[in-house]
Amino acid sequence: MVINEDDYLMISGIQHFSFCKRQWALIHIEDQWDENSLTVEGEIMHERVHDPTLHNNRNGVRILRGLRVCSHSLGITGTCDLVELIPQEGGIRFENYPGTWRINPVEYKRGMKKVNDYDRLQLTAQCLCLEEMLGCCIEEGMIYYGQTRRRERVLISEELRSKTKDVINEMHHFMQTGNTPAGKRSKRCNRCSLFNLCVPQLFSDRKSRRVESYIKGHLFQEEDL
């Protein structure tokens, strides 16, 4: 699949899409956005992580902040919050840094560790980009959660890689068709910054069928007159 660079998907959207396809479509297809306290806290955290004045060399580990990455084969682009270059024999070489290094991407999230793979899929996509750009293999990465102030070690398994690629392909399909999926009302909707734009109580699958039936019923009544 050949994808024009103007149509590359944002890596950050993978977490949105996995969490709620309608949320992702409102942001990335319809270009709608709204803030709440959770999104603001997340933005502040990322601004701090990307701050170029912070230390970029810690105990021999080189730290790259706000690193732009992309994958031409997958048609995705975005920013890695933090990439650590850890000294390792037989690792990859960088022109500006003598020695050989292991790549350790670290994604920052404001909340806590989750049971689902939403955050892990986003991290895996970053690893796939780095592998393509640097010609290396990344076996693991990290997710730092602000609420617990702890890192989660993530093994970049074949299962995660395959799942990430499937999600990306599905995102491309929705982007090409330009369709915004119907939502499904749940408790997590109350914490979504797009709640008032999404109006899930009107556009859930069940509600959509009720509205459709209502409209059809009135159309048939008018035709009978």
Q: Which residue has the tokens 């993530």?
A: 154
Asked if 203 and 185 touch (Cβ cutoff 8 Å), the reply is no
Asked if 13 and 24 touch (Cβ cutoff 8 Å), the reply is yes
Predicted local confidence at residue 34, as pLDDT:
64
Q: What is the dihedral of CA 167, 169, 170, 172, to 10 degrees?
A: 120
Q: Which of 14, 94, 11, 79 is nearest to 47 (CA)?
A: 79
pLDDT tens, residue by residue, 121-177:
999 999 999 999 999 999 999 999 999 999 999 999 999 999 999 999 999 999 999
Pairing of strands 140-145, 97-109: parallel
Q: Which residues pair with 109 in a beta bridge?
A: 145
From 39-43, 62-66, 163-167, 176-180, the region with the lowest mean pLDDT: 39-43
pLDDT > 60? residue 214:
no
Predicted local confidence at residue 221, as pLDDT:
46
* Residue 220 confidence class, pLDDT cut points 50, 70, 90: very low
pLDDT tens, residue by residue, 183-213:
777 777 766 667 566 766 555 544 444 445 5
Q: Which part of the chain has CATH 3.90.320.10? A: 5-181
DSSP at 116: S
Q: pTM for the complete prediction?
A: 0.82
C-alpha to C-alpha distance for 207 and 182, rounded to whole angstroms: 10
C-alpha to C-alpha distance for 20 and 8, rounded to whole angstroms: 20
Asked if 9 and 175 touch (Cβ cutoff 8 Å), the reply is yes
Which segments of the chain does DSSP mark as H helices, in order? 13-19, 21-28, 37-49, 118-134, 158-177, 195-198, 200-203, 205-224
Distances in Å between the alpha carbon of 187 and those of 145, 195, 201?
22, 11, 12
Pairing of strands 61-71, 76-94: antiparallel
Predicted local confidence at residue 27, as pLDDT:
87
Token readout for 79 is 């920013």
CATH of 5-181, one of 3.90.320.10, 3.40.50.720, 3.30.565.10, 3.60.10.10: 3.90.320.10
Predicted local confidence at residue 47, as pLDDT:
84
